[in-house]
Structure formats: C-alpha cells, structure tokens
Chains A and B, each alone.
Chain A
C-alpha cells in the first residue's frame, strides 16, 4: 500500500484529479442542456449527440492529425443534432422528450455505424497543462494535469451565469423559457429562440464528446459513454438551471466517479466495483432528497414540459 509513497493521501488526490478529468464532459453537456432547458425545452438526445461527437472528433482528428479540427467537427455535428431536434419540436403536438429519446438512440447508432473503421487507429490528444510540474510526486503531477477544455468549461459556466442576467440574448432565452405568451407579446418567436438554444446545447454536448475520445479515456470505442449525456440532464435539474451550479455538480459527480479507481489505485481490492456505481447512487440520493410531493421545483423554467 505504501508503494505509492503518499499512502492514503492518494485517495483524495485521485478524487480531485478524477473530478477534474471526469467532470469535463458533464460540464459541457450540462451547460448545453441548461441553455436548452432555460429556453423551455428538454433535449434528452444529448447522450446520442455526445457519442456522435466523440466519434466525429476522433475520426476527424485521425484523418487530419489535428485534435482541434476534431473538436470543431464534433461541435458542428452536435449543432446539427441540436438544430434537428429543435426543428422537429417546433411542429405542434410533437413531444420534446420522445424526440430526445429517439435522437439519443439515433445518434449512438449512427456513431457506431460510422465509427467502426476508427476503433483501431490512434488519434492525437487534446493538450493538457501540467499545473503539477512544481511537485515531484507523480500522483500530484497526474492529478493536476488539467486539460484546456476543463478550463474553458469553467470559464464558460461563469460567462453563461453572467450572460443570463446581463445580456439581451440571456434575458431573451429566459423570457422564452418562462412564458411563451409573454415572448410572443414582445414580438419574439419562441420556436426560433428554442431552435438556436437547442443548437447551441447540441454543439456543447458535441464538445463534451470530443473530450471523451480525444483526452479521457482518449480513444474511440462503442462503450465510450456510460450515460454522461443522460446524467447531465439530471445534473441540470439538481443545479436548478444555474450554470455555476452545473459546474459545481459536474465536479461532484466527477469526484464520485473517480472514487472507484482511486480506491483501486491504493490497493483496495474488494468491493471497489460498488464504488464505480457511486455517481449513479449519488444521482438517486440527490433526486430523492430534493424532491417534494407537494411543490414543484423552485427556479424551473415555466415552459418546461416536465414542470408544467
């Protein structure tokens, strides 16, 4: 157990490192979903968008040898998925949740279909910044090796939090999400706003996918996503549609996800599989703890079909 040199300190350190590493896709998907839901729509298809984004990013990175082009391609693919969802949902009597589930399966299926030839080759990774270079303990170095996307995600959540209050676009999204009637009375077209919001949400989910295949775990397989796209939807509700809350809860989930590997790394050999389930158990606990039989969620956008 002492082979690592820092003993049990390895566990919190690994959790911290894991939180930073694992949380990044959660951050992007949940920020994207927060934008979409704030506009009054739910896009459950982000799981499919995430997987398709992962495949696209990997494929483009393999072909062009540039991870950044891969990232852009993933964002563009995500944008297309989002716009498609938004476009279908503008028709009357279309249910956004049902379309989301359909797109989730469609995105994953399409990704597996196009992704077959890319399972073998190796793509270049997205760069990380070694914030741990000051230390000569390898665990510290590993934990503080922070990918640029994590930093971008952190900045983005701050920007979104600010933008929802201080920009015209942010206020318009909130107006549309809270009351279609009020939006129409202002001369806004809710469908257009939601189309754009769903598109942007999809693009962010695509970026989350690119992180999966181009950094951590860092290769394209069909089991690349373990439901991050769906969990992110739960995250958004847990975070009360607040971008800063999304960031914090993504970190929390990332940390919980890192619990299993961290215990394993310090030599716990029994039952650590149980800890792999920690994020899912955490989801359940949070959902139960924050639920109430008598009142609806505070802060929920009024036009959201789950809260109506």
Chain B
C-alpha cells in the first residue's frame, strides 16, 4: 500500500477514565490502549459506556477522573478543537455532513482555516488532487442530500482524512451500508492502518466485523471494562460473554414446518404510492404472505420500505393497486384491522406506535379500550379494566416500568418495544407487519423480541418483516425479498439465500 495521506498514525491511551453524571457512573476506571497503526474494536451493548468513553477522548465530555495519552504523552483535551489539533477525529453514526451543501462545500467549510472569500477554482483543483490519492471515488459537486448512505459514510471518512486526522473513531460505521459497501469501506480503512497512516477505534456490535478487521478488542459492560485482548485469541462466544455477562437470553422457538398450501393472508397487487420526496413512487407488483411464514424485506434505508410500511399502516395515500387481507380489501381503518386481526409494529415504536406522554397502561390498551370482552363497543371506558388488562400484559411481557401510570416515554427503548409487542401480539393475530423491531435495542431485548415474532409465526400468523439488519432477516425469514429503488427486485427462499447476492441486489447492481 503506497502512501495515501502522508500522515503518520498516532496512538491513544486512556488511563482510569471515569465519568459520572450526578450519582450515575457512566464510565468507571476504564483504561484501554490503542497503539499507533492498529485497528481496535470497542464492543458493548447500548448504554455500556462506549460513546461516553469516546466522547471523553474527543473532548465533548470532561471526564470526572482519568488521563489521556497521545503517543505516550499526557494531553489535556478540553474541546473537540483540542482533539482535532492532536489529529483525533470521529465519524459519527449519525451523519454530520450538511445535507444541502455539496461534498466540496462540506469539505472546505469544515477546515480549521477557511479564507473569507473562497476561490473555488483553486479549491477544486486541490480537492481533485487530494481525491486522486483517496481510495474511494466520490462525486463532490452534488448535494450531500442526494448521495446514497454508503457514499455519505465514505465522504465522512474522507472528510476526516482531508482534515489531516490520523486517529479515527468510527461509531458503528457500517450500520447504514450494504454488506458489500461495509467490506469495501472497512477494508480500505484497514489498509491505511496497515500502512501506518491511521489508527482506528471502531465502535461496533457486529462480531463478524470485529473478527474480520480488528487487531484488538476491548469490551465494556455497564461502564466497566470487562475484557480486552487480541482478536485472534478470542472467539465470538467469549466476546459475547464479556458483553452481556450472565443474563439469560431468550431462545428462538424452533421453526415450525411451513405449509406451502397455507392461506395467503396478505396480498399486494400493482401497488403504487408516492415516496417521501413526492418525485418518485414505489411500486409493489405482486407480494403474497402466507399464514405461518415470515417474509423478510431487505434493503438499504431510503429505498421505499418506509413508504411501503406507511401504505400498509394507512399513513400514506396510494395512487393505485390493491392490498387484500384474507381476500378482503384492506385500507387500514381501525374497524378493518380489528375484524381481520392485522397488527403492526412500526420502527421507532415510541414515535410511531405510542403516545409518548400517555401512561403505559393507556398505551397498552389502545387496541382494546373501547370494546368489552365480547368485542362490542362500550359506552363508558373503565379505567379499572384498562389497568387490569395492562397489568396482566406488563407481567406477561416482562415490561420494566416504575408504575402503570408512568408516561411511556420514561421507559427504556427495549421496554417501550416490549409494551408495544404486548399490545400488538395479544389476542388473535392473522397478519403481523413489523419494521426494524430491534433497532437500537440491547442483546437480551433483541433475543426476546425475535423469539416473540417467531412464536407468532409458529402460531399461524403471516408475518411481513422489513429490516435493515440482514442478519435479523436471515435468522427469522422463510423467504426474503430485496427492495431497491421502490420496487421488489429479488426473491429467494431462505435455504438458497446468500448474503453476497442479496447485497448486490440491495446495492442495485442488477
């Protein structure tokens, strides 16, 4: 590998890093060492303290105690500016590029020193020269908003290199990439570390990335360092044990045999609907989901999955086509959903499936508060019945809440999702529509939620599962479709599914 940036990698070490927020210790006495030119992975569940640790090293937080060494010398990092002066940079999980600016504008304005009047001819010339040395090619003259997620991620990394950073923190860099793109980006970053030009600290919870790319790994749990070592010496099981400790993990039900002659519960034909921008439309030609099977829809976010879900949920008008549930036209009214036993678990449940300021009990009773035991409308809503009903479900689905009267927004992400599952999976379920159910949840919640979905399938529900997490789809689905550019472009039964082929279709290479 020839010189790419001409920078020299720096090593970073934290000693006894501690961060307290009031009485809560987010980070307790964490010491990790990332030598110059190494690729270090930081593993841990949500809330384990990974971002707190990197925010301390990047100068966003001022640690309660602890020191930072850069290349063996103790340094004071009081602000992100100090960190960048030392060559430390971070690529965030959420993009920090400005959407309405072009790539070139984003690069130039993020520099430490920008001239008052920008000479674009000169800047463009220099950028072109810089890009010639870069491992990936990107269009710099289009607005960032028009770039694909993978291109944005590459631009984020290029921005850090452009700014002369030689120590990079990557915060879950592949969460928005296709498997192919993830391989490419991480491979190139790793090549730079090999060349001694870059040191990388990558936050991740994908074991296969860690074992494939990282040299060393450190694991955090509840703010403590629970393990560190060379990746070669550790297997996944050992890493998982360090990550989650000894909590019980719900086991997935074994998959009941699918019946190819089962009733087709959901049928979508020639559906057309406008997408988010209103400029393009999504088109679902023909999709059927049988009772007792999970049909997964893969795709990079922004390819129309969200719009498709919104049409099914009745949140988005459709131009043409039909959606049939058990042979009846379905327009997602409350009455139809109730009569046909259609249940919905949208992504970001707090935002899309709850009224955040209403209580846990009220939220759990949204489907049932206005009917009595026989399904007849009631004229007087009984607070007692709501409480009794939700108390039973909270118990049954192990929702951790201070009280039934707490606002649901005060619950953790996993518990909000459990409450939504409790509401949606109680009673008879013929069709279950799920979207990114485990996004941002911790290990045990993920396992439990997947187990519940599998249980619903085995009980005979038709499940349509949209997910950006390919591992999740491969684990749960009976058939997988790939959605790209608003249409279903590929279908495969799970037995023949290959990550490679699915990835290529996700990227639109066919």
Contacts and interface: CB of A to CB of B under 8 A. Distances in A.
Interface of A: 165-169, 171-172, 174-175, 178-179, 181-182, 185-187, 292, 294-295, 299, 301-302
B115 interface: yes
A294 B274 contact: yes
Contact of A178 (B92, B100, B115): B100
B278 A292 contact: yes
Given A178-B98, A182-B98, A187 B116 contact: no
Given A171-B114, A295-B276, A295-B278, 13 more contacts: A166-B120, A167-B118, A168-B116, A171-B108, A171-B109, A171-B118, A175-B101, A182-B98, A186-B109, A294-B317, A295-B277, A295-B279, A302-B100
Given A166-B120, A294-B278, A302 B101 contact: no
B101 A171 contact: yes
A262 to B, nearest CB: 39
A104 B83 CA distance: 44
B97 interface: yes
Contacts, number: 61
Interface of B: 79-81, 92, 94, 96-101, 105, 108-110, 114-118, 120, 274, 276-279, 317
B117 A187 contact: no
B192 to A, nearest CB: 22
B97 A182 contact: yes
A168 B100 CA distance: 16
Contacts of B81: 187
A182 B97 CA distance: 6
A172 B115 CA distance: 12
Nearest to B115: A168
A187 B100 contact: no
A182 B80 CA distance: 13
A70 to B, nearest CB: 31
Nearest to A172: B109
A185 B94 CA distance: 12
A170 to B, nearest CB: 9
B110 A186 contact: yes
A175 B98 contact: yes
B99 A178 contact: yes
Contacts of B110: 186
A240 B460 CA distance: 52
A182 B98 CA distance: 6
A186 B107 CA distance: 11
Contacts of A169: 116
Contacts of A301: 100
A166 B94 contact: no
A166 B79 CA distance: 28
Contacts of A167: 116-118
A294 B80 CA distance: 39
Contact of B114 (A168, A174, A182, A294): A168
A178 B101 CA distance: 9
28 contacts: A165-B105, A166-B118, A166-B120, A168-B115, A168-B117, A169-B116, A171-B101, A171-B105, A171-B114, A171-B118, A172-B109, A175-B109, A178-B98, A179-B96, A179-B98, A182-B97, A182-B98, A185-B92, A185-B96, A186-B109, A187-B81, A292-B278, A294-B274, A294-B317, A295-B276, A295-B278, A295-B279, A302-B99
A185 B163 CA distance: 13
A172 B101 CA distance: 11
Given A166-B120, A169-B116, A174 B108 contact: no
B96 to A, nearest CB: 4
Most buried by B among A169, A179, A292: A179
A276 B268 CA distance: 54
Contacts of B276: 295
Contacts of B100: 174, 178, 299, 301-302
Contacts of A172: 109
Nearest to A181: B96
Nearest to A299: B100
Contacts of B101: 171, 174-175, 178
Contact of B99 (A168, A179, A185): A179
A302 to B, nearest CB: 6
Contacts of B92: 185
A283 to B, nearest CB: 23
10 shortest A-B CB distances, which residue pairs?
A: A295-B278, A171-B109, A185-B96, A168-B114, A182-B96, A178-B98, A294-B278, A178-B100, A182-B98, A175-B98
A168 B98 CA distance: 15
B258 to A, nearest CB: 38
Given A182-B98, A187-B79, A168 B118 contact: yes
Contacts of B94: 181
A260 to B, nearest CB: 37
Contacts of A187: 79-81
A302 B100 CA distance: 8
A169 B94 CA distance: 25
A264 to B, nearest CB: 43
Nearest to A187: B81
Contacts of A171: 101, 105, 108-109, 114, 118
A168 B114 CA distance: 6
A174 B114 CA distance: 15
Nearest to B316: A294
B208 to A, nearest CB: 29
A178 B98 CA distance: 6
B304 to A, nearest CB: 14
Most buried by A among B79, B101, B279: B101
A182 B120 CA distance: 22
A179 B105 CA distance: 14
A261 to B, nearest CB: 40
Nearest to B84: A187
A301 B101 CA distance: 11
B278 A168 contact: no
Most buried by B among A174, A178, A182: A182
Contacts of A179: 96, 98-99
A149 B434 CA distance: 60
A198 B406 CA distance: 41
A166 B114 CA distance: 11
Contacts of B274: 294-295
A178 B100 CA distance: 7
Most buried by B among A167, A294, A302: A294
A8 to B, nearest CB: 43
B314 to A, nearest CB: 15
Contacts of A186: 109-110
A232 B100 CA distance: 23
Contacts of B108: 171
